[in-house]
Structure 1
Amino acid sequence: MRQTAKHSLRAFSRGAAMALAGLIAGLSPAEPLQAGPLADAAAKAEEKSASGDSKAAFDIMREAFGDFSESLPFTVSLATFVSEKPPAYGAYSARSSAIFKRGEPIVTYLELIGLTWNEVGKEKQQANFTVDLQLADSKGDTLAEQKGFGNFTFTGHVRNQEIFTHLTLDVSGAAAGDYVLRYIVNDVYGGHSAPVELPFTIATQ
């Protein structure tokens, strides 16, 4: 699932195994090892799959993974400069370097995890995140910044976990040199933010 923004201004050794076995054996009955929600869901899904109900099995795991994902800290799991706009989640072409020609747009691909979803309307879920921009020089001095550089809303019948976007920055007016691009991604419903920094260079020619 994608939306985009464009603005001007991306052996385990045998001894260790034996030690672990000893630790597990030393646990008292009052402290039993318990399976988590994902393991419980997997067991239910396997039962459905064994009975021939693949759809139910998939739905169980999708719902469980959605719950698990929302329990994770909101994070930008991947941020990289790309050579072209990505057509789908995971379908990106990473640049071989962070050196750009003068006037070349800077396209950044982002993937997110831990995004908060809210129920909206009838049987629909919605997630919303914004992106703030800061551009600094190699010394860390801020050259430009913009709140709300991007604003993305996703609405659907399921909590889609393949959330990505790309951001395009135009720095055609910037001089040659080293810079740091900083994006702050804000989970609107969850109230959390996740920053990411990407150093880059504008070549002299």
Structure 2
Amino acid sequence: MKSIMAGLLALAVSVPAAFAGEISDRAAEAEKLLQSGDGAGALEKFSSAQEALWQAMPLGVLNVKQVDTASGFGIYSERANHIYKPGEKIVLYMEPVGYGYGKDGLGNSMIALSVDITVVSAAGETLGTMEKVGRVQIASRSHNRELFFKLDLSLDGLPAGKYRCDFVMHDENSSKTAPFSTDIEIAG
């Protein structure tokens, strides 16, 4: 029994190292191909290194912005401040990374993410939690990595004051989750 446990522990410890070796090996092969003049081959090999990195990394949420508009990846108009009138819609732009890919049964890869929110007062009191306030589901023939998630929030009923919004993004194709936060203020 001890040898089985030791073997499992060794396997658990070696998995991240195996991914790291695989990633760097593929990137080194890409560099060699590029130096030999095979740009297309280098790009394909580098893409395979990026795929291995993507699979090994945790889910993350980058570039969280409060915006006026968002229409595509990197295409948004950042809001001048985080102060809202009572009942005004709050729009967030974010770029998730490290999510998994499922299948849709039609030959497409499927990206599926959802977001929960917890609103916290300036005094640190949890005022409420809502699950799946936003969800994105995209079918693609490719493993898209330039994905933006636009979240429209309505926090009607909050009195004037400052708040922290704590979010948890869920990858519906894996058990990966990613927390992130942003501050808002409701004007009096």
TM-score interval, normalised by the smaller of the two chains: 0.7 to 0.9
Which one of 73, 80, 86 corresponds to residue 58 of structure 2? 73
Q: Secondary structure at the match of 1:140?
A: coil
Alignment of 1:80-119 (within 5 A): 80-84=65-69, 86-119=70-103
Change (3 A) 1:153 1:100: same
Larger relative contact order, structure 1 or 2 (CA cutoff 8 Å, min sep 6):
1
Paired residue secondary structure (1:131): strand
**Contact kept? 1:81, 1:108, Cα under 8 Å:** yes
Give the TM-score taking structure 1 as reference length: 0.71
* Ranges in structure 1 where 5+ consecutive residues have no aligned partner: 1-33
Q: What's the TM-score, normalizing by structure 2?
A: 0.76
Aligned partner of 1:41 in structure 2 is 30
State the identity as a percent: 25
Pick closer, same or farther for the CA change 1:165–1:183 going to 2, 3 Å: same
What is the identity, as a one-letter code, of the residue corresponding to 1:153? Q
Assess, with a 3 A threshold, how the Cα gap between structure 1 residues 122 and 101 changes in structure 2: closer, same or farther. Answer: closer
Give the whole-Å Cα distance in 1 for the aligned partners of 2:153 and 2:103: 33
Structure exhibiting the larger radius of gyration computed from Cα positions: 1
Amino acid at match of 1:61: F
Q: Which 10-residue stretch deviates more, 57-66 or 164-173?
A: 57-66
Q: For 1:113 and 1:179, locate their aligned partners in 2 and report how far apart those are by CA, in whole Å.
A: 26
Query: Greater helix share, 1 or 2?
Result: 2
CA offsets per residue over residues 120-179 of structure 1, 9 Å max, x none? Answer: 546532222111121121122222221121222222111100121111111232211111
Q: Following the alignment from structure 1 to structure 2, what is the Cα–Cα distance between the partners of residues 39 and 92?
A: 36
Aligned to 1:19: none
State the one-letter code of the partner of 2:61: V
Q: Which runs of 5+ in 2 are unaligned?
A: 1-22
User: Compared with structure 1, are the counterparts of its residues 128 and 139 closer, same or farther at alpha carbon in structure 2 (3 Å cutoff)?
Assistant: same
Task: Name the count of aligned residue pairs.
Answer: 166
Find out whether 1:64 has 2:37 as its counterpart: no
CA RMSD of aligned residues (A): 2.4
